[in-house]
Structure 1
Amino acid sequence: MSATITESAPAPAVPQGMRVSGKQWKAPKKAFRPAGGLTAYEQRAKERVAHAAMKAKEQELKDEKEADRQRRVTITKERKAAKEEKERYEKMAEKMHKKRVERLKRKEKRNKLLNS
């Protein structure tokens, strides 16, 4: 009965030792078994699934990168518009009274909110 227990247990991996060629970094080769692996169709199907997953991940990364770029572009445009508006108001303040400029600012702000 003890013989059946030892037979069903998997054999422990035999340590390989040093390779004769001295190329320890190379993976040990296995026996050539043409029918041992996947069939050509199964292999292609597996590769297609892996390729599709890789393409989806690449697309996700590209979309993320593009969204980040668009965010930076919009921030830059908003800053530029704010700067131009500030310069415009400063130019107006040189010509007219400060209180009138403030009134115009408020009026333009209301119009901007109504239009958008």
Structure 2
Amino acid sequence: MSTQVTPAAAPVQSDAAQGMRKNGKQWHAPRSAFRPKAGNSGWDKRQVERKALETVKAKEKEMKEEKEAERQRRITSIKEKRAAKEEKARYEKLAETMHKKRVERLKRKEKRNKMLKS
């Protein structure tokens, strides 16, 4: 039997192998060098990205406008219903004290005035 010595596996480098930090903040992850031009891509690639971003923004804007238009439509319909309800209640109150035909005449007269104003 021959005994061969196998070389030990190379130890994996870790943050502790670099030694203690001088500023005492060993809990922070080690940082790499600052390279401001490392992420730059070519002009064509940037143009394609800009186009894609513009299309996304246009779609978002269109969707927001549709949502806002629907919201405004609901608001106007609610306001119209409330105004009609108030007007009906006002005419009912008038009808309690006045004759029915006179109330009808006032209604027609007020509608004519509304048409002239707008």
Unaligned stretches of 5+ residues in structure 2: 1-40
* Bigger relative contact order (CA 8 A; separation at least 6): 2
Following superposition of structure 1 onto structure 2, how do residues 26-45 of structure 1 map, counting pairs within 5 Å? Answer: 40-45=42-47
Following superposition of structure 1 onto structure 2, how do residues 5-44 of structure 1 map, counting pairs within 5 Å? Answer: 40-44=42-46
What code does the residue aligned with 1:48 have?
R
CA distance in 2 between partners of 1:114 and 1:42 (Å): 62
| Aligned residue number for residue 98 of structure 2 | 96
**Post-superposition, which runs of at least 4 consecutive aligned residues in structure 1 deviate over 2 A?**
none
Deviation at 1:61, TM superposition (A): 0.4
Deviation at 1:82, TM superposition (A): 0.1
- Pair member with larger Rg: 2
**SS at 1:105 equivalent:** helix
Unaligned stretches of 5+ residues in structure 1: 1-38
CA distance in 2 between partners of 1:44 and 1:81 (Å): 55
Aligned pair count reads 78
Deviation at 1:41, TM superposition (A): 1.2
| Aligned residue number for residue 59 of structure 1 | 61
What code does the residue aligned with 1:77 have?
K
What code does the residue aligned with 2:98 have?
M
Aligned CA-pair RMSD = 0.8
What is the aligned-residue identity percentage?
67
| Aligned residue number for residue 86 of structure 1 | 88
Deviation digits for residues 56-101 of structure 1 (CA, Å, limit 9, x no counterpart): 0000000000000000000000000000000000000001000000
Higher helix share: 1
Deviation at 1:40, TM superposition (A): 1.6
**SS at 1:50 equivalent:** helix
